[in-house]
A and B are shown apart, each in its own frame.
Chain A
Amino acid sequence: MSSENKTLEQFYNYISQRRLMAAKCTACNVVFMPPRGRCSKCNSSEVEWTELKGTGELQAYTVIHIAPPQFQPLAPYAVGIVKLDEGPQLFGMIKDVQHTDLRRGLRLRVNFEEQKQETWPQWPKYHFTPEK
């Protein structure tokens, strides 16, 4: 598992397997995203994949009302930056939440979507929902 390329494509391959994976530097132990072959802190190439629980706390959020054409049907929709429990942050949409309930520190969990589009990029989507 840890020998797989530390690429965005592989990150999304894992998402399609319903796994949230980050890169971990075995030299300095930092866990970072987006994954890449070189540590974002110490530049070591001793990097392996590590699976995350997919839970964390909301750091910052907004509700988007004006969006590009392909997202406008979803508007208004919430997005946020989540500090995952293992350390790295991740951006995503936040669904199944009252927009008035959004606040810093809200506990969230990642969810995986099945649908893929037919043309590039065939990346599966993920989003966050409140942790029950």
Chain B
Amino acid sequence: MAAIVAAGESKFGKLDGRYAREIFADAVDEAFKDSPKVGRRDIGALFVGQMSDYYEHQGHSGPILAEWAGLENVPAFRLEGACASSGIALAAAIMAIGSGRFETVMVGGVEKMTHRTTGEVTEILSTASDFPTEQWNGLTFPGAFALVANAHMDRYGTTEEHLARVAVKNHKNGALNPKAHMAKEVTVEQVMSSRMVAQPLKLFDCSLISDGGAALILSRPRAAKKYTDTPVYIVGSGQASDTIALWEREDLTSFLACKLAAKRAYEMADVKPRDIDVAEVHDCFTIAEIVAYEDLQFCPKGEGGKLIDEGATEIHGRIPVNTSGGLKSKGHPVGATGAGQVYEMYRQLLGEAGKMQVDGAETALCHNLGGSGATCAVHILVRGD
């Protein structure tokens, strides 16, 4: 498949006075520092995820990000799959390596969001939903996930406290992450009493509006040891699509694209859900993490609330999820999120995750969801010994 030989990430947060290209350059610099044996001239192509041109009034970002990364004249592919933009950039890069065309490529993602007002960001994010029916009738992204939450609560008895506990766990983890946007703990009471956004989702059920970038260097597995003694291997890559409109779907309590992407990734990796030691999942809203537990088969359908109650997904639990703090606490610069998840799992598998470290982690999963689930990318990583 492909090996990760280096990874870098900018700080996530409100990075005043810095635009996407500059934030991406920070992530790229850290990646080259991470593995000094890789040089800019080794990189054959750039695959980069960025969601929207509206934030900075800037399109055509592939060559811009290649230029600021110092990758002169390489082919630059900008991929867009809403919040899964860099998850699908990774999937494309793995195919490019597999094709034999490139030995070494860079995969990245970036978004600059915090210079816009909350209303503007809400509108820009909503462009990833169906315009003629959903946006036209006032649906927002929190609104879409609130519909999912409503359906899940109705069918499985999931409660607002379950949702709040996801936020509490992820903030507890994020407080240990030096790169996190909101590195502080919150309580169930704080989440429950925060301002209503889209019933039943409150402000602290929602991920953060953040700036950030992430960069990974991938190589053909056989070439990996040229660049690092400790590569991490991507052994499973799955991606699938679903209807753009949430309302077309018969089952609102699950994301079909996730189930299909996970099935492909598990099969390719020859790994079972119970083999996963640590995972980063797409908690754009707290309900999305509960649904991801079920769609990724970390627990039976309908028991996501029970899994969070049991503490199974805490750092020292049976299946630690979002040790980085997730989108909820680490932050959600949408285009950077998928690559940022892989950066976190790469650190975990190398045993370099500091206070977030899961002891003996050997197999990791990254789950990156686009929009209200029309795109999903799932990747499985293993430590290379």
The distance from the CB of B194 to the nearest CB of chain A, in whole angstroms, is: 12
Within 8 A of A (CB), among B128-179: 130, 132-134, 136-140, 142-143, 146-151, 154
Query: Which residues of the partner chain A approach B143 to less than 8 Å between Cβ atoms?
Result: 62, 64, 79
Please tell me which one of the listed residues B133, B196, B201 contacts residue A34 in the complex, with CB atoms under 8 A apart.
B133
Q: Are A71 and B138 in contact (CB under 8 A)?
A: yes
Q: Which of B10-18, B65-73, B115-123 contacts A (4 or more CB under 8 A)?
A: B115-123
Range, interface on chain B:
35 or more
CB distance from A76 to the nearest CB of B (A): 8
Whether a CB of chain A sits under 8 angstroms from the CB of B198 is: yes
Are B248 and A77 touching (Cβ within 8 A)? no
Q: A42-72: which residues lie under 8 A (CB-CB) from chain B?
A: 59-72
Minimum Cβ distance to chain B for residue A35 (Å): 11
Q: Is the beta-carbon distance between A66 and B136 smaller than 8 angstroms? A: no
Shortest distance in angstroms between B146's beta carbon and chain A's nearest beta carbon? 4
What chain A residues lie within 8 Å of B140 (beta carbons)? Answer: 64, 66-68
* Chain A residue nearest to B149 in the complex (CB): A62
Q: Which 7 A-B pairs rank lowest in CB-CB distance, beginning with the nearest?
A: A62-B146, A68-B123, A91-B247, A63-B199, A60-B151, A71-B138, A81-B247
Q: Does B329 contact A (CB under 8 A)?
A: no
Evaluate contact between A72 and B119: CB separation under 8 angstroms.
Answer: yes
Using a CB-CB cutoff of 8 Å, which residues 98-115 of chain A contact chain B? 99, 104
**A52–B200 alpha-carbon span in the complex (Å):** 31
Which positions 79-103 of chain A face chain B at CB distance < 8 Å? 79-81, 89-93, 99
**Is A19 positioned at the interface, with any CB of B under 8 Å from its CB?**
no
Contact B122 A68 (CB under 8 A): yes
A62 in complex: contacting residue of B123, B130, B134, B147, CB < 8 Å: B147
CB–CB B139/A91 < 8 A: yes
- Name the B residues within 8 Å of A27 (CB-CB): none
> How close is B23's CB to chain A, nearest CB, in angstroms?
25
B353: CB under 8 A from chain A?
no
Q: Report B321-352 residues with CB < 8 Å from chain A CB.
A: none
B268 within 8 A of A: no
Bound complex: CA of A91 vs CA of B315, how far in Å? 39
The answer on a CB contact under 8 Å between A66 and B197 is yes
Closest to A9 in B: B132
Alpha-carbon distance A123/B245, docked complex (angstroms): 18
Known A-B contacts A59-B252, A63-B198, A67-B122; A80 and B147 likewise in contact (beta carbons under 8 Å): yes
Q: Is B126 an interface residue (CB 8 A)?
A: yes
Q: Is B246 an interface residue (CB 8 A)?
A: yes
Give the complex CA separation of A62 and B245 in angstroms.
16
Interface residues of B (CB under 8 A from A): 118-120, 122-123, 126, 130, 132-134, 136-140, 142-143, 146-151, 154, 195-201, 245-248, 252
Q: Is the CB of B197 within 8 A of A65?
A: yes
Interface residues of A (CB under 8 A from B): 8, 12, 33-34, 40, 59-72, 74, 76-77, 79-81, 89-93, 99, 104, 121, 123, 125, 127
- The reply to whether A77 and B138 form a contact with Cβ atoms under 8 Å apart is yes
Asked if A62 and B150 sit within 8 Å, CB to CB, the answer is: yes
Cβ-neighbour of B198 out of A64, A70, A72, A93 (below 8 A): A64
The answer for the CA separation of A108 and B292 in the assembled complex, in Å, is 31
Asked whether, in the complex, the Cβ of B248 is within 8 Å of the Cβ of A79, the reply is: no
Q: CB-nearest residue of chain A relative to B151?
A: A60
Residue of B nearest to A72 (CB): B119
Contacting residues, chain B, for A63 (C-beta < 8 A)? 196, 198-199
Q: Which of B120, B198, B201 gathers the greatest number of chain A CB atoms within 10 Å?
A: B198
Q: Cβ of B132 and Cβ of A8 under 8 Å apart?
A: yes
CA of A91 to CA of B122 in the docked complex: distance in angstroms? Answer: 19
Distance of A99 Cα from B200 Cα, bound (Å)? 12
Residues from chain B with Cβ under 8 Å of A62 in the complex = 143, 146-147, 149-150, 198-201
What is the distance, in angstroms, from A79's C-beta to the closest C-beta of chain B? 6
Contacts of A99 in B (CB 8 A): 199
Q: How far is the CA of A72 from the CA of B198 in the complex (A)?
A: 12
Can you list 30 pairs linking A and B with CB atoms under 8 Å apart?
Answer: A33-B248, A34-B245, A59-B151, A59-B252, A60-B148, A60-B151, A62-B143, A62-B146, A62-B150, A63-B199, A64-B146, A64-B197, A65-B195, A65-B197, A65-B199, A66-B197, A66-B198, A68-B119, A68-B123, A68-B140, A72-B119, A76-B196, A77-B138, A79-B143, A79-B147, A81-B247, A89-B248, A91-B246, A92-B137, A93-B137
